[in-house]
Amino acid sequence: MNNKKVIRVIAIILAVVMLMSVGFVILDSLMASANSSNISGTRAQINRLRGELQGYQSRRREVQTHIDAIDFERRTELARKSILDDRIMFTGMEIDIIEATIEQYEILIVEKEAEVVRAQEREEAQFQLFRTRVRNMEENGVISYLEILFSSTNFADLLARMDFVSDIMRADEQIYFELVAAREATIEAKAELEETKLELEEERVLLFSRQEELADQVEEAEAMIYELLQHRETEQALHDALVADEARIMRQIREQEEELRRLEAAAAAAAAAARPVVRGTGELTWPVPGHTRVTSPFGSRMHPVFRVMRHHNGIDIGAPHGANVVAADRGTVIRSAYNSSFGNYIVISHGNMNTLYAHLSTRSVRAGDTVQRGQTIGRIGSTGTSTGPHLHFEVHVNGQRVNPMRFL
């Protein structure tokens, strides 16, 4: 009787254990399925954000092209306005010169008018003298000529006296005609001066008209420059807003990538827990043989691409493209993949810690592979978010990133 009871108790216990085992398996399966769904959702979110980021970047480049075109057009308008200002200045100088010349011509015209008056007075005086001489001859008649002729002492004297009378008449007539010619020349010179003055005044009017046209063009250029400046300010504000949106999207992408790495690490840890993991020694060898220059240490730094302060979760080791990257310790590869941040990267579980190798040009191991300390797992590259060939190396202890230099 007692034996039967013992057997029944043992059977019940075994049944309960089996049911619990089945429950744990189902629970693990549900958790794995949920984790896989979270990973897929996070990746989809990252892809959506990357597409949105590309849209913002394309729009920002387009706006920058507009800004560059506006700046070029504004420089062109400023140069045109400068030329117009110079032309207005030189036109003003021409006007000043023409006005000064017109003043000089006005003085010359006044002088010529005075010369004409004086020439007319001389001409009138000479004409009156000629008229008086002729009148006297007419009044005295032949007697005066006879007196002149008969008062001569001899024939030669007679001829001389006759020539003298003719010379007087011809001289009076010649002087009169010369005075008339001088007056006419003076009048003609005055007319030429007045004509030149009119031409200068017409040219001055044209220059004033040209100066007004240039002033209108300057006003148009100033209005265009102001409009371009307003347009540029609008475009610059849009550009700044797009830059801010890009920064916001990049922050979200980084957050989602961090979440994805966390989920992938959890999934990898769960997968590693389901299979035997080769435990490491706890002491790490240098992951890039022959190249020991650390170009960026663990801790806060300025991001080389996004130009923002952020925490650097590992160390960067400078090395030429294609240099060997080795496993820092023996262990099991739990991740060998690619993403936009790390590019080609590998995660190795050493049991008590994980190591991460990023920006590789090639990967020579797959998830589930067992690697030995110093074994080549890939080669130096510059994939993902990188400014040049190097290895980004991280050490995780109990899920926390620590300074790799503590173990190297």
Structure tokens, 379: 């080669």
Give the helix/strand (H/E) hosting 408: none
Q: Hey, what are 16's tokens?
A: 């309960």
Which residue would you say has higher pLDDT here, 380 or 57?
A: 380
> Considering only CA atoms, which of 219, 349, 326 is closest in space to residue 271?
349
- What's the pLDDT at 233? 92
Nearest alpha-carbon partner for 305 in 394, 401, 388, 362:
388
Residue 288 — very low, low, confident or very high, per pLDDT cuts 50/70/90? very high
User: Residue 273 above 60 pLDDT?
Assistant: no
Burial class (CB in 10 A: 0-12, 13-18, 19+), 308: exposed
Report the phi/psi class of residue 289: left, alpha or beta, with left for phi > 0 and alpha for psi in -120 to 50. beta
Average of pLDDT values for 36-54? 85
Among candidate residues 312, 398, 287, 289, the one with its CA nearest the CA of residue 349: 398
Identify which of 338, 339, 346, 383 has the alpha carbon closest to the alpha carbon of residue 50: 339
SS3 content of the chain, % helix, strand, coil (to 5): 65, 15, 20
Q: Comparing 381 with 195, which gets the higher pLDDT?
A: 381
Specify the pLDDT at position 128: 74
> Which has the higher per-residue pLDDT, 308 or 93?
93
Residue 393 pLDDT = 97
Return the minimum-mean-pLDDT range out of 147-161, 348-362, 373-387.
147-161
| pLDDT score of 283 more than 50 | yes
pLDDT in tens, 295-339: 999 988 665 555 566 789 999 999 999 999 999 999 999 999 998
Looking at the DSSP bridge assignments, the partners of residue 132 are none
Q: What gap in Å lies between CA 28 and CA 23, rounded to an integer?
A: 8
- Rounded to whole angstroms, the Cα distance separating 119 from 184 reads 9
Higher pLDDT, residue 124 or 217: 217
Structural tokens at position 232: 């540029």
Residues whose CB is less than 8 angstroms from the CB of residue 177 and which lie 6 or more positions away in sequence, other chains included: none
- Among 12-16, 112-116, 224-228, the range scoring the smallest mean pLDDT is 12-16
Mean pLDDT value of segment 22-39? 56
Residue whose pair of structure tokens reads 């006044």 in the numeric block = 110
Please give the domain boundaries of the chain with CATH numbers for all domains.
Answer: 1-274 (1.10.287), 277-408 (2.70.70.10)
**Which pLDDT score, from 0 to 100, does residue 22 have?**
45
- The per-residue pLDDT for 130 is 67
- Indicate if the pLDDT at residue 277 is higher than 70: no
| pLDDT over 80 at 30, yes or no | no
> Which tokens sit at 221?
């250029």
Note the Cα 18 to chain centre separation in Å: 74
Whether the predicted pLDDT of 293 surpasses 90: yes
Mean pLDDT lowest for which of 24-38, 62-76, 254-268?
A: 24-38
Instruction: Give the pLDDT of residue 10.
Output: 61
Question: Residue 230's Cα: distance from chain center in Å?
Answer: 16
CA distance 201 to 207: 10
Q: Quick one: pLDDT at residue 133?
A: 65
Residue length, the chain?
Answer: 408
CB neighbours of residue 353 within 10 Å: 22
Rounded mean pLDDT, 73-92: 88
Indicate if the pLDDT at residue 290 is higher than 90: yes
* Number of neighbouring beta carbons within 10 Å of residue 384: 17
Mean pLDDT of 270-290: 78
Other Cβ atoms less than 10 A from the Cβ of 74: the count is: 18
104-162 pLDDT per residue, tens: 878 887 887 787 787 777 777 767 776 676 666 656 544 455 566 566 666 566 666 66
Mean pLDDT of 339-343: 89
CA atoms within 13 A on the CB side of 134: 11
Please choose, from the candidates 350, 298, 313, 312, the residue with its C-alpha nearest in 3D space to the C-alpha of residue 328.
350
pLDDT for the residue 371: 95
